[in-house]
Structure 1
Amino acid sequence: MNVHLIIVIVYLTSMVFLGMYFAKREVKNTEDFMIAGRRLPGFILVGTLLATWVGSGTIVGGASFIFQYGPLASIIYFAGGPIGIMILYFIADKARLLKKNTLPEMLENRYGSTTRLVATVFILLAYVGITAYQFIGGGVILSMTTDISPETGTILIAVFVIFLAVTGGLFSVSYTDFVSAILIVFGFLIAVPFLLPKVDGFSGMVSALPDSHVSWSGGLTFPQLLGFFLPTFLLILGDQNMYNRFSAARDEITAKKSTIGFFFGNVIIISLAIFIATTAVVLYPEIQSDTSIFHIAANAVPVPVGSLILVASIALVITTANSFLLSIAGNIVYDIYSRFKGTLTDRQHLRFSRMSVILLGILAYVLGTFFPSVLEVQMYSYTMYGAAITPVVMATFFWKRANTAGALASIITGGMATLFWELVLNKPFDWNSVLFSLPLSVAALIIITLLTSKKKDIASMDTDSTIVHQANDKLPGGR
């Protein structure tokens, strides 16, 4: 048995015990399970935000993009994350103050119960896909570490993720997230001095790259490049996981300040991932693009450093998948089941939450078998969410006139347009579906809102209950 595999097994075993520990000590009710009892401290909140966001999408899908199109184009590809985090800084404390369990619950405050239900459906469609590519990414990592096939590795990761999510809920996810975030930053950082001499420094690395890899476009057209930037940007702005984490913070100030650490941590990891994947282009130009970071970890750095990168990568995939599973399990329980079944006891809530995690995990695995690559399923899932949900979320906080009709039109148009572009038209011009679905979603929101609001007294809009104004009034100083 190789050293990498031994270290991976030790780490995964530790995560199992940590999950069981929090299940026994902290998880007493559904609020503990789903949102960590609303008592996460700041440093844990930063870690769980970071690890939730940096999963297969960065270390597999993102690395694949870097390898194919180069470091400069990848800066544009990744820029949506940091830009989105800066906007979240102005929303985080308001989201915490509302004390909602799911994003559709927040939307119901403004747009009513029908919008809540429709939003839930499209969140499920997107998040099951995101969970699926975490499973696929984990399988790729395990296949690089052991002799098992990517398919078998995917099954093992799926089983492990489901187990951890079922046991400790957000408590176990948050604390293992914190450890994972530290490991990935540390592992990437200590790899740098070993890799620089191998590529003759930064200048040597740049000179060895193909011409297409030293341009800002990476050989992509502007619409293609924009099609990669927008899904990431839109997802982080409306990501239910972000709002779940803000709701889990111990107070509003903690939620707001956590975005600062989140921003800098994200920039550091992105920068290091770009460097490591770019060295793989120089050292191993013939490898499969989505294995670039793991190929470096397995072959170009000392075994302890490589093992640390591999372990941290697997941990990030697992914790990210946990987060998305828990998030949509909350949608099933709070936004669908309890609404139609009436009041549930806390014990029923907790039991059904765990059952939902298992069923959704199985569904995510099945969905993953229909997509050939992490990058492909990543773009589909991000767009489904970003086009269907994010415009309405942003309007909730920043556009007072947005109404129920406009919100419903936007969600349905964005979601259906994504499916139409991907499944019916089969991505014409090789454009990602966001270029088609986002403009339609935003147009539907604006046009339908303006058309239907003409029938109302404009003065009545000023008294509409809006989340952003409710929250502002309650924050210290009316911020």
Structure 2
Amino acid sequence: MNIPLIIVLLYIFALFALSMHARRLAAKGSEDFLLAGRKLTTPLVAVTITGLAIGGASTIGVAEQAYNVGLAAGWYNVAWGAGAIIMGLAAAAKYRSLNVTTVPELFEKYYDTKGRIICVIGQITIQLVITALQCVSGGAILASLLPQIFTFQSGMLTSTILFVGITFIGGMMGAGFTNLLNIALIYVGIIAATLISIFSQGGIANVAAQLPAEIPYFHLTDGLGWVVIIGWFAVMITQVMSLQATVQISCSAKDAKTARNGIVLGGLLMIPIGFLSALMGIVARTIFPDISATLALPQVIMSLNPFIAGITLAALWAAGISTGCNLLLGSATLFSQDIYKRFINPSVSDKNFYIVTKVCVAILGIFSYIAALTVVAIVKTLLVALSLTTAFTIVILFTVFAPGLCRKNSAFYTTLVGIIVLVLWQFVPAIRVVPHVIYLEWIVCLITFLIIPVFDKNPVATIAATEALEN
């Protein structure tokens, strides 16, 4: 009897059942599909933002890094959690009160049309890259869990089909309900596997004795250094403030207080998983010293009791699925709302808009799988992609807190400069004068935003003035 296979099949059945239940609870209009009818409760907001964060990079990716550098890799999740807590306290309630659907919509509402266009291009690119990473982690898990059935490539394809299917059926409400299962499964599976894998090797002391002495595996920071860790915090705090997927979750809450409390609670839930995954990556180094780092964590778990192995690998697969669902829905929202409805068919009926959005889910899922075939290092690729959110965050922060410095062209040119910096960083090594691209993004984008008022004298409408007109 193949116990891991049975557990995975039961998990798939449960996900689709929850998605169907969510579909029955929500009406079939576009707002219900994209924003759960703006009815998400605090627990659903919390597990949805946690499910977005705890994906392949936060589990497989962290273990992959810990295999080489040690416990310091776990700070990745702490950075994500810190970003979510700050976003919850500072911005989640404001996003909910603005009553918008997408970040590009906000850009046009307070700036101009070209700002919306460049924002939607950047946001879709970022989210498709991150979605592709979930395909990669899903392929690694299934290839290790069921090697007699899945190759790495077919595992990626299966993972893509699953999160496309769940998103297609349930939308945002479906993401909320399935993440109740996903987060519970992730916690139970990873905690159990971490403890059992350590005890099976005779405890922490025995594990440490088998590791290369020249690498500080059990030091909290030395494996990476504070420069890298602070860079992670800079990236995560930046991206969580303006990534479409996080903003969309805030906008789906039933009110501003729910958005704030749910995002903060979600940030707290994210933190422990990173160090637990890092510990398993370290154990993997002692058991399989010559294996590919990407496959390290799945292989360690497969050496455990079949039932625990099945639960844990299903949990790791759940991590990628939960993130993929949220990101795919965000990307589909961007295309349908900010491209199709805004520029192609502004008078589209709600029924047809709902259909277009679901078609976008399927098409963008295919693009994500194709992109996944080119991804190599999970965490490194993710951090570079997320750095582009710097421009979006700067624009939003000034819009909310310092509107007097905002001009009609601020959103467009700040985002354009952010894209140029990222491209140059990739292809012109001479500009890498700082440890990570996020630092250069902040410096250049902030200077750009502050210089624009010298040349552009057209102020933007403040949020207070816009809300007064709408009311």
Equivalence for 1:153? 155
| Aligned residues of 2:227 and 2:435 also touching (Cα < 8 A) | yes
Counterpart amino acid of residue 362 in structure 1: I
Query: How many Å separate the matches in 2 of 1:427 and 1:159?
Result: 40
Which one of 286, 303, 306 corresponds to residue 306 of structure 2? Answer: 303
Aligned-pair CA distance for 1:218: 4.6
* 1:374 alignment counterpart: 378
- Quote the Cα distance in structure 2 between the aligned partners of 1:138 and 1:398: 40
Deviation at 1:11, TM superposition (A): 1.0
On the 8 A contact 2:77/2:271 being kept in 1, the answer is no
**Aligned mates of 2:184, 2:430 — CA distance in 1:** 40
Identity rate, percent: 22
Deviations 1:90-139 (A, max 9, x none): 21111111221112222333223321221111001111111111111111
1:393 to 1:305, Cα distance in 2 relative to 1, 3 A:
farther
- What does 1:432-471 correspond to in 2, within 5 Å? 432-449=436-453, 451-452=454-455, 455=457, 464-466=461-463
1:399 maps to which of 392, 399, 402: 402
In structure 2, the CA distance between the partners of 1:427 and 1:138, relative to structure 1 (3 Å rule), is: farther
Q: CA deviation at 1:221?
A: 6.7
User: Against the structure 1 CA distance between its residues 129 and 425, is the aligned structure 2 distance closer, same or farther, given a 3 Å change threshold?
Assistant: same
**Kept in 1: contact 2:85–2:268 (CA 8 A):** no
Aligned to 2:132: 132
Contact residue 73 and residue 274 of structure 2 kept, 8 A: no
* Counterparts in 2 of 1:264 and 1:169: CA distance versus 1, 3 Å: same
Asked if the contact 1:34/1:330 (under 8 Å) is kept, the reply is yes
| Residues 153 and 11 of structure 1, relative CA distance in 2, 3 Å threshold | same
**Is the partner of 1:28 in helix, strand or coil?**
coil
Q: Do residues 31 (structure 1) and 35 (structure 2) align?
A: no
Q: CA RMSD in A?
A: 2.8
Are 2:257 and 1:262 aligned?
A: no
The CA distance in 1 between the partners of 2:300 and 2:430, in whole Å, is 34
For residue 58 of structure 1, report the CA deviation from its aligned partner: 0.6
Q: Secondary structure at the match of 1:342?
A: coil
Residues 316-361 of structure 1: CA distance to partner in whole angstroms, max 9, x if unpaired? 2112111111111111111111112222111111010011111111
1:190-205 maps to which residues of 2 (within 5 A)? Answer: 190-205=192-207
Task: Please state if 1:213 is matched with 2:239.
Answer: no
Partner Cα distance (2:259, 2:432) in 1: 41
Does the CA-based 8 Å contact 1:96-1:255 persist in structure 2?
yes
For the 8 Å contact 1:118–1:411, the answer to whether it is kept is: yes
Assess, with a 3 A threshold, how the Cα gap between structure 1 residues 412 and 310 changes in structure 2: closer, same or farther: same
| Alpha-carbon shift at residue 3 of structure 1 (Å) | 1.4
Inter-partner Cα distance in structure 1 for 2:370 and 2:280: 32
C-alpha separation between the residues in 1 aligned to 2:31 and 2:451?
38
Q: How big is the shift at 1:306?
A: 1.8
1:303-452 equivalences under 5 Å are 303-340=306-343, 341-384=345-388, 386-400=389-403, 401-423=405-427, 425=429, 432-449=436-453, 451-452=454-455
Is the partner of 1:389 in helix, strand or coil?
helix
Contact 1:85 1:262 (C-alpha < 8 Å) held by counterparts: yes
**1:477 equivalent in structure 2:** none
- Output the CA distance in 2 between the equivalents of 1:53 and 1:240: 13
Contact 2:104/2:119 (8 A) holds in 1? yes
Greater Cα offset, 213-222 or 114-123: 213-222
Q: Is the 8 A contact 1:86 1:263 kept in 2?
A: yes
Distance 1:137 1:36, change over 3 A: same
Query: In the alignment, what sits opposite 1:238?
Result: 242
Q: Aligned partners of 2:92, 2:51: CA distance in 1, in Å?
A: 17
In the other structure, the counterpart of 2:78 is: 79
Contact map agreement 1:61 1:378 (CA 8 A) in 2: no
Q: How far 1:229 sits from its partner (Å)?
A: 4.6
Structure 2 distance, partners of 1:366, 1:27, is: 33
1:40, 1:250 within 8 Å by CA — same for their partners in 2? yes
Task: Report the CA distance between 1:31 and its aligned residue.
Answer: 0.5
TM norm structure 2: 0.90
* Partner Cα separation in structure 2 for residue 409 and residue 279 of structure 1: 48
Cα distance in 1 for residues equivalent to 2:431 and 2:68: 19
TM-score by length of 1: 0.88
